Structure 1
Amino acid sequence: MTLRVVPGPELTGRQVHDLLRLRFEVFVLEQRCFYPEIDGRDLDDDAVHVWWQPAERVLGCLRVLGAPGGTRRVTRVCTAADARGTGLGGMLMAAAVDLVGADPSVLDAQVQAKGLYARFGYETDGEPFEEDGIMHVRMRRPATA
């Protein structure tokens, strides 16, 4: 499987559309989180997008924010309902960890997905909290040598 890795400023209009479409389907429609999905960060200089699109439809994606050398943030991790259980989430996270490199990173995990992130060195940092009606927990991955 080949994942696409594209910095935010280099995304085409079609790519932005396809990424937002999946994120809207998962976060807004499926999970019923009514929040502004378009947050103004997708095209930032420090944004890097990773996704799997074997045909016309994006099946999984994530976004890494933050400049190299600082604390990075993994956000918008999602897979299409029909692609879950295939290992795609793990492939996306492996790519995110490669992008982050030795830098420390954080993410806000849905509680039921903590195990996925723990496989990549993320540890719970604080108490669970509710966001958009779903329990989350902050997770951190320390800087590595």
Structure 2
Amino acid sequence: MEFITKSFNELTINELYNILQLRSEVFVVEQDCVYQDIDFKDQKSLHVFGTKNNAIVAYTRIFKPGDYFENASIGRVVVATSERKYGFGHDLIKASIKAIKIHFKVDEITISAQKYLNKFYESHQFIQVSEEYLEDGIPHIKMDRNSN
């Protein structure tokens, strides 16, 4: 899988449409969660996405320190349902961490993770730093990653 990192203004119309479709497919339809996905934060983030057969099947948006949390952050982590069995989620997180190091030159990362993905993020050296809280009706936890 090839991973690409682009600013909002560098995205083509088709890339943006496909990213929004993937986010809606998973976060709104699959997770049955009505929330405002288009939140005007896309313009200030960098978009990391993985393609397979010219289709966007994995995606995150990353923020520099201070734009979302005090540390750099990763959000909207999503892999197409049909592609999850291939481990692309792990590849996506590695690509996102690498993009943060390249573009923002920092190692400290904070995420707001869905609680059920705790072990997944721990496998990438994230540590839970908060109690569980609800975000858009879904249990989340704040997690930090401080090096490597």
Task: Give me the TM-score of the superposition, normalised by structure 2.
Answer: 0.87
Which structure 1 segments of 5+ residues have no match?
none
- TM-superposed deviation, 1:14: 1.2
Q: Which residue of 1 aligns with 2:83?
A: 83
> Which amino acid is the alignment partner of residue 58 of structure 2?
G
Which structure 2 segments of 5+ residues have no match?
none
1:90-122 deviations in whole A, cap 9, x for unaligned?
Answer: 000001111222331111111111112112221
Listed as ranges, the matches of 1:18-37 within 5 Å are 18-37=18-37
Match of 1:129 among 128, 133, 138: 133
Q: Which residue of 1 aligns with 2:143?
A: 139
Q: Which protein is richer in helix relative to its size? A: 2
Q: Which residue of 1 aligns with 2:117?
A: 113
* 3-state SS of paired residue (1:84): helix
Q: Which protein is richer in strand relative to its size? A: 2
Mapped to 2, the partners of 1:93 and 1:13 lie a distance apart of 24
Listed as ranges, the matches of 1:92-107 within 5 Å are 92-101=92-101, 102-107=106-111
Mapped to 2, the partners of 1:8 and 1:141 lie a distance apart of 25
Mapped to 2, the partners of 1:113 and 1:11 lie a distance apart of 28
Mapped to 2, the partners of 1:71 and 1:111 lie a distance apart of 20
CA contact (8 A) 1:97 1:120 kept: no
Mapped to 1, the partners of 2:143 and 2:24 lie a distance apart of 24
Q: CA RMSD in A?
A: 1.8
Q: Return closer, same or farther for 1:67/1:13 CA change in 2, 3 Å cut-off.
A: farther
Task: Give me the TM-score of the superposition, normalised by structure 1.
Answer: 0.88
- TM-superposed deviation, 1:15: 1.0
Q: Which residue of 1 aligns with 2:50?
A: 52
Mapped to 1, the partners of 2:15 and 2:28 lie a distance apart of 19
> Which amino acid is the alignment partner of residue 85 of structure 1?
K
Identity across aligned pairs (percent)? 29
Mapped to 2, the partners of 1:7 and 1:67 lie a distance apart of 16
- TM-superposed deviation, 1:59: 1.2
CA contact (8 A) 2:127 2:144 kept: yes
Q: Return closer, same or farther for 1:89/1:14 CA change in 2, 3 Å cut-off.
A: same
